[in-house]
Amino acid sequence: MWEISIEAPHGFLSEVRPGDSVAVCGVCLTAVKVGGGAFSAQMMEETVGRTKLGALRGGSKVNLELAMRINGRLDGHLVQGHVDCVGTVSRWEMGGESPKLWISIPRDFAPLVVPKGSVAIDGVSLTVIDALEEAFSVGLIPETLMRTSLGGLRVGDPVNLEGDIIGKYVLRLLGTVFNGDSSERSLGRGGITLEMLGRHGWDVGGRY
């Protein structure tokens, strides 16, 4: 069992008690100790192996977020804190005040990334600009650069990635299971056809 200790900004922990969930760079962790402006959380081997948290060093900056209240306004998209894989910063494209960040990804993560769709990078909900088979890009406004650790990323740095939960369920329903471990199993090839939909119970008006 691993344990990570995080020094939080002033006031951030005012509502956090042992047993509460806190997202650290997009990873949902349970606080086990809270006090003195800091908290500690325990991590299983699965968490350390699937995310970049095990590679953090003392003094590393991390993004922190409290659990969302269901009765509140939803900004961005639903981020569960269940990281799918680790990507790599491949390049920055500087363009005025809003640079474009490119992330290299495992090919099996690509189906979860679509232009104008949502993706979480180190826990930050962002809108996809470009979506390729092995990389995607997002734009970062000055507010995001100021409030998160993303502006400090360098080429080669790892980042935690989480795809949109709605996209995951759609892929599952369409017959593709994404396991997040560089394995993908297709239950059928050739794309969506009226015949395929009819075989699976959809009402296509007998048009196959």
Non-local CB neighbours of 145 within 8 Å, separated by 6+ positions: 151
Q: Token pair for residue 169?
A: 């369920």
Q: Let me know how many helices (H) and strands (E) the chain has, helices first.
A: 4, 13
Which is nearest to 27 in space by CA: 53, 57, 7?
53
Enumerate the β-bridge partners of residue 88. Answer: 104, 158
Mean pLDDT for the chain overall: 86
Structural element, H or E, at residue 36: none
Provide the pLDDT confidence category of residue 148 given band limits of 50, 70 and 90. very high
Q: Averaged over 49-73, what is the pLDDT?
A: 89
Rounded to 10 degrees, the C-alpha dihedral 107/186/51/128 comes to 50
pLDDT at 187: 41
DSSP 14: G
What predicted TM-score, i.e. pTM, was given to this entire model?
0.80
- Give residue 161's Cα distance to chain centre: 4
Most confident of 62-71, 81-90, 92-101, 175-184: 81-90
Which is nearest to 103 in space by CA: 116, 122, 117?
122
First to last CA, the chain: 55
Cα–Cα distance between 137 and 147 in angstroms, integer?
A: 19
* Per-residue pLDDT tens digits for 158-200: 999 999 988 888 877 776 444 444 444 444 455 666 677 777 7
Cα–Cα distance between 116 and 26 in angstroms, integer?
A: 20
